[in-house]
Copies of this chain bind each other. A is one copy, B any other.
């Protein structure tokens, strides 16, 4: 089946302007242009648009969607499974928000009391608690109380956008790292780019940056098996590779 802009727009529930914009930014180009200059979309484009809309629904920026779907290592099925997980998380959040509104109604009718904190539950993701639970102790032990406090304070002040940025940075690191690992050279451009991205990630998480801490964290990735497992899950040896790249990047050992 072939589609013109309007037909595809109707099918997907989006405007023709949106399709033209997606062409313009290179995120979804038509299969071909006919003799009159019309955009003609085919089966592949329909499927890609579906992927794009899944990402969009999850709040990913078009910039990031572009990087994801145009990446040579993009795995459609894997992406769908990620969508599934994210959507289930979103459902949990939505249910929290529904509980919130139910509680607020009960409160306004005088049946229960509610703290100010409760009034905003379900609006923001609970990434903080998870992070604290998972890695809090270790960071606290190795890097001291202060760093953790700062880290927490920063996290709390983050907006939804920041979280998204952080997540996209995360995926970018993963991708760059995967590519870099194939070259086998931590000092190469890709390896150094991964280190650079990782620096950005740290800066966002901690609200500040220092080479010492960066190098230290890199070593921890190798020393702590949970971190190692995380980085090695696709390719064993990745954690060591990242450490080496960072040590070269920071010029520290």
Contacts and interface: CB of A to CB of B under 8 A. Distances in A.
A84 B105 contact: yes
Given A57-B97, A94-B91, A116 B159 contact: no
Nearest to A85: B101
Contact of A57 (B6, B14, B18, B123): B123
Contact of A13 (B50, B95, B101, B124): B124
A6 B156 CA distance: 9
Contacts of A97: 57, 87
A235 interface: no
Contact residues of A: prevailing secondary structure: helix
Which of A84, A91, A159 counts the most chain B CB atoms within 10 A? A159
Interface string A76-89: 11001101100110
A134 interface: no
A229 interface: no
Contacts of A136: none
A102 interface: yes
B119 A50 contact: yes
A157 interface: yes
Contacts of A54: 101
The 9 A-B residue pairs whose C-beta atoms are closest, nearest first, are: A13-B124, A15-B159, A12-B120, A50-B119, A80-B105, A10-B156, A87-B98, A83-B101, A77-B108
6 contacts: A12-B123, A14-B159, A46-B116, A53-B123, A84-B102, A90-B94
